[in-house]
Amino acid sequence: MSPVVITVLVLLGVVLLLALWLMGVYNKLVVARNRFENAFAQIDVQLKRRYDLIPNLLETVKGYMGYERATLEAVIQARNTAMAAEQKAAARPSDPAAMRELNQAEAQLGGVLGRLFALSEAYPDLKANQNMLALQEELASTENKIGFARQAFNDAAMHYNNQREVFPAVTVAGMFGFTEASLLETAPAERAAPRVSFQ
Amino acid sequence: MATDFFQQQELARRKTAQLVVYFVLAIVILVALVYAVLLGLGVHGGEGPVSWWQPQLLLVVAAGVGLVVGGASAFKVSQLASGGQAVALMLGGAEVPGTTTDAREKRLLNVVEEMALAAGLPVPPVYVLDEPGINAFAAGYASGDAVIGVSRGALAYLTRDELQGVVAHEFSHVLSGDMRINIRLVGLIFGIMVLSIIGRILLHSGGVASGRQDPRARAAMVTLGLAVFVLGLVGAFFGRLIMAAVSRQREVLADASAVQFTRNPDGLAGALKKIGGLTEGSRVHNPQAAEAGHMFFANAFAGPGLAGLLATHPPLIERIRQLDPGFDGRFPEVRPADVEREERAGPRPGSVAPPAGMPRVPGLPQLPLPVLGLADEAASRVGQLDPREMDYARALHDGMPDVLRAAAQEPFSARALVYALLLDPRADLQDLQLVQLKAGAETRDFAESLRLADPVRALPDTHRLPLLDLAMPALRQMSPRQHRPFRDQVEALMLADQRLSLFEYTLRCVLHRHLDAQFLPQRAARPVHDAPEQLAQPVATVLALLAWEGQPEPDAAARAFDAGMRGYTGGGPTHRLPPREACSLAAFDAALQALGQAVPALKRRIVVACTACILANGQVAVREAELLRAICDTLDCPLPPLVVGEAEGRSGVGFPKQEAPLAALLESPGSPPARG
């Protein structure tokens, strides 16, 4: 048997291994990326739900807290900014810039909402209002769901980042434009979200 | 069509064996051809006469081709077998969250949920592909990790009935084990295709590396490359022919099953007609779909000429004529379907008229009560669906209280829902569990569970497992890091009350089987048992518990046990009913795992035996039905949830919520059972 044939066969094996490996890595990255992008949909639904609740909240609060006009307007402003950021992020969950914007807008919204609730403490009538109680409970439950979904999203994004950073994959990731995913931070207001007790 | 689930499974197994034969044949032919080409090259380049028989060369060629084709096939199969979700994600599918506000997506979810409840399957995750054509697919390795995918176009253009027809078609693939064959087919063809890819690379590199090597070697490389390329293409062509033949046959069967499930040929026919009427047709643009053409509902790649021979699906008109013999071949003009008008909250027109005999719960619709007369009937119902079951599932689906249905749609609440389902109805035991939950879970999880505890307690027993089935897609959206504490918490809650009730056991079976498949990946067990005697002992263990579960009296229990054993062996008594103290849930569990590795024909016998044992006293209680469900689930035989009721058509008397005597058996196998 000629040495040419042997060289060719060895070459064949190497090429095959390389090709299969490349495909495997590529597919794994595609799956991991789609997984975390899908995980964002779950957050997205809850974020939208919260943005829908806020006008109702303001409607209820307005009658009692007419003097806090500045705060109310700040809430509206922050909600609208956050909504715009959310739409951008939902269109491309793998875009770090959009994600950063959403992080900022959410932090802002959380902050002003927290201030609103802190101020509402001074109005006993408002605190006893059935509507207000229901809204507070709904908001708290939505926050919880956002928190849990965010954790799942971050886990999936982290998994994707880890997969694309390990040595052989990082070359493939560079070649095919698998950019790093950015995580969602916890908004400060969430920690201060009104707790509803069910005792 | 007369074949039942088990025969179909057996058939699928045999078909796989057939494929292996084809596969080996293909490799042998390829080896022979490559060998011939190399010999030819040797003749061309060498001097003097060359022997036609060179064992060394043949060995090298066989090893090379075998490695290439076998390795590539194994690679592809392992990739596709990693679960339906991975396949859906590879195709670029976006999962539809249960909480979606899009009316079309909501409708799709409802259709899939109803179908899954009717089949006794956990609800599969649903994916939407961003494709304008009308198409759909089912992917997964077993019924437990299946996913359903639907194209955007199907959502936009199909009415509810048509969508239901398409989803029923896909469910038929899930239930008949088609997906497994499909995956192996894809692997085979991929392995052969790889040859042609390598040939192309050789050709290319032969042309490029012109300067350095001597011209003879270059010529040899080009010739070899060309030969391998052509061989790979020809091999892949024949592979596709096999695939198309197998696939087309399965598609016809799936169409027939879909009609049988829904008893509405117009829905499926309507969907097919719309594919014909739409310019996009059923095309799928995603390049990743190229190897998965046969997984789809209709031809994913259209084309004239040769494509017809390789088409993975029968011609559209032929399929429509099967369903609607009067079809004139003219496709309708397709307009987006109006969804808001159709999908309303609450019961739809044409909802079932509820017969008597259901536990009456205010606010819940009365459900029809299917009667299970013969043990054989249960076995023939596994993996099948009929319109009665569809109606039942629809009523079950519509009757689920809103607060619980909403909770089942979303991971955070779905976890709390599982915790709430685990809470014992007895106050003292429940307190123990609550203490455990409060200590083990986060505050917000605890609060959510408490919120759901009351509605869950008010739920009739018949609705409890279906509720878990509904929650399954949301639970699967957890990350592995979230699943671990959840699993621990479930285990802790089950043991917190010092007793494992039957429902808890069933829930644990269903939950672990389906979630562990995703989060703790393990290789699927291969069927190893095919002799009935091998499994007589585990069957006896399972039946003993079933018998004691149904009949507290020793005589009646022994009769039930014997009836079950006769159902299994078909002959005289071989085993005696062990005393109740000797039965433990742990042994039961272990026996069930052994039974899970039986071949389909044996599984059928096991289902028959269990049903015969339960039916020995002429009635089926909810808790017995639940246990049967757990057994069938472990055996991977989806059982429609309809076995609750009395045999022989006697009027129902409702089901008093009984304590499971079984509970006492788990923790203290030695002590006499305490009756609650």
Which ipTM score applies to this complex?
0.81
- pLDDT beyond 50 at B550: yes
- pLDDT beyond 70 at B306: no
Q: How confident is the model at residue B360 (pLDDT cuts 50, 70, 90)?
A: very low
Q: What is the pLDDT of residue B315?
A: 81
pLDDT (average), residues B275-281: 82
pLDDT (average), residues B589-600: 85
Q: Give the torsion through C-alpha atoms of A46, A48, A50, A52, to 10 deg.
A: -140
pLDDT (average), residues B402-415: 90
Dist. CA B463–CA B399, nearest whole Å: 9
> What are the Cα distances from residue B92, in Å, to A176, B235, B652?
16, 29, 50
A10 touches chain B (CB under 8 A): no
Q: What is the pLDDT of residue B654?
A: 32
Better-predicted residue by pLDDT, B376 or B145 = B145
Instruction: Select from A8, A48, A152 the Cβ nearest to the Cβ of B479.
Output: A152
Question: Is B346 in contact with B298 (CB distance < 8 Å)?
Answer: no
> What are the Cα distances from residue A170, in Å, to A14, A21, A160, A163, A173?
20, 13, 11, 8, 5
pLDDT (average), residues B285-300: 74
Q: What is the pLDDT of residue B603?
A: 84
Nearest CA in chain A to B87: A31
Better-predicted residue by pLDDT, B153 or B77 = B153
Query: What token pair was written down for B4?
Result: 């039942």
- pLDDT beyond 60 at B140: yes
Nearest CA in chain B to A191: B444
Q: Note the pLDDT tens digit of each residue in B495-540.
A: 876 666 777 888 888 888 888 877 776 655 667 777 778 888 888 8
Nearest CA in chain B to A46: B99
Q: How confident is the model at residue A26 (pLDDT cuts 50, 70, 90)?
A: confident
State whether B75 and A13 contact (CB < 8 Å).
no
Instruction: Select from A8, A148, A149 the Cβ nearest to the Cβ of B224.
Output: A8
- Closest CA of chain B from A5, distance in Å: 8
Q: Please identify which residue in the block is written with the tokens 């057939």.
A: B18
Q: What is the CATH number of domain A3-191?
A: 1.20.1440.20
List the helix and strand counts (H, then E) for chain B: 26, 6
A130 touches chain B (CB under 8 A): no
Dist. CA A73–CA A85, nearest whole Å: 18
- pLDDT beyond 70 at B91: yes
Better-predicted residue by pLDDT, B277 or B645 = B277
- Closest CA of chain B from A178, distance in Å: 15
- Closest CA of chain A from B491, distance in Å: 21
How many A-B residue pairs are in contact by the CB < 8 A criterion?
124
- Closest CA of chain A from B98, distance in Å: 9
Dist. CA A151–CA A39, nearest whole Å: 10
Q: What is the pLDDT of residue B673?
A: 36
State whether B94 and A197 contact (CB < 8 Å).
no
- pLDDT beyond 50 at B114: yes
DSSP tag of B293: G
Q: What is the pLDDT of residue B310?
A: 64
Across A87-91, B218-222, B624-628, the highest mean pLDDT is recorded for A87-91
Dist. CA A107–CA A99, nearest whole Å: 12
Chain B residues inside the 8 Å CB shell of A156: 479
Q: What is the pTM of this model?
A: 0.79
Dist. CA B22–CA B10, nearest whole Å: 19
For B645, phi and psi rounded to 5 degrees?
A: 155, -170
Q: How confident is the model at residue B152 (pLDDT cuts 50, 70, 90)?
A: very high
Worst-scoring range by mean pLDDT, A41-50, A125-134, B232-241, B411-420?
B232-241
Q: What is the pLDDT of residue B380?
A: 62
State whether A15 and B481 contact (CB < 8 Å).
no
pLDDT (average), residues A69-86: 90
- pLDDT beyond 80 at A182: yes
State whether B447 and A149 contact (CB < 8 Å).
no
- pLDDT beyond 50 at A140: yes
- Closest CA of chain A from B132, distance in Å: 18
Dist. CA B403–CA B451, nearest whole Å: 10
Q: Please identify which residue in the block is written with the tokens 């619980």.
A: B404
Dist. CA B451–CA B412, nearest whole Å: 13
Dist. CA B242–CA B66, nearest whole Å: 20
Q: What is the pLDDT of residue B351?
A: 38
Q: Give the torsion through C-alpha atoms of B555, B556, B560, B563, to 10 deg.
A: 70
Better-predicted residue by pLDDT, B338 or B457 = B457
Q: What is the pLDDT of residue B286?
A: 77
Worst-scoring range by mean pLDDT, A2-16, A152-166, B477-491?
A2-16
Query: What token pair was written down for B288?
Result: 């990743």
- pLDDT beyond 60 at B372: no
- Percent of chain B scoring above 70 in pLDDT: 77
Dist. CA B84–CA B147, nearest whole Å: 5
State whether B447 and A35 contact (CB < 8 Å).
no
State whether B412 and A145 contact (CB < 8 Å).
yes
- Stated length of chain A: 199
Chain B residues inside the 8 Å CB shell of A147: 412, 444
Q: Note the pLDDT tens digit of each residue in B118-131.
A: 887 889 999 999 98
Instruction: Select from B92, B288, B479 the Cβ nearest to the Cβ of A156.
Output: B479
Worst-scoring range by mean pLDDT, A72-76, B146-150, B186-190?
B186-190
Q: Which residues contact B383 (CB under 8 A, 6 or more apart)?
A: B4, B5, B8, B9, B119, B175, B176, B637, B638
Question: Is B283 in contact with B302 (CB distance < 8 Å)?
Answer: yes
Nearest CA in chain A to B46: A2
Chain B residues inside the 8 Å CB shell of A197: 447
- Stated length of chain B: 676
Across A37-51, B347-361, B386-400, the highest mean pLDDT is recorded for A37-51
Better-predicted residue by pLDDT, B148 or A168 = B148
Chain B residues inside the 8 Å CB shell of A24: 75, 79
- pLDDT beyond 90 at B327: no
pLDDT (average), residues B146-157: 92
SS (H, E, C) B52-90: CCCHHHHHHHHHHHHHHHHHHHHHHHHHHCCCHHHHHHH
Instruction: Select from B57, B75, B482 the Cβ nearest to the Cβ of A24.
Output: B75
Q: What is the pLDDT of residue B443?
A: 82
The ranges assigned to domains in chain A are 3-191
Dist. CA B129–CA B144, nearest whole Å: 21
Q: How confident is the model at residue B646 (pLDDT cuts 50, 70, 90)?
A: very low
What is the side-by-side strand order in the sheet with B147-151? B94-95, B126-129, B147-151, B136-139
DSSP tag of B368: -
A149 touches chain B (CB under 8 A): yes
- Residues of B with active-site annotation: 170
The ranges assigned to domains in chain B are 18-95+103-334, 402-512, 532-667
Q: What is the mean pLDDT of chain B?
A: 75
pLDDT (average), residues B628-644: 72
Q: What is the pLDDT of residue B376?
A: 58
For B114, phi and psi rounded to 5 degrees?
A: -60, -45
Q: What is the pLDDT of residue A155?
A: 92
Question: Is B651 in contact with B645 (CB distance < 8 Å)?
Answer: no
Chain B residues inside the 8 Å CB shell of A48: 101
Query: DSSP of chain A, one letter per residue?
Result: --HHHHHHHHHHHHHHHHHHHHHHHHHHHHHHHHHHHHHHHHHHHHHHHHHHHHHHHHHHHHTT-GGGHHHHHHHHHHHHHHHHHHHHHHH-TT-HHHHHHHHHHHHHHHHHHHHHHHHHTT-HHHHH-HHHHHHHHHHHHHHHHHHHHHHHHHHHHHHHHHHHHSHHHHHHHHHTT-PPPPPPPPPHHHHTPPP----
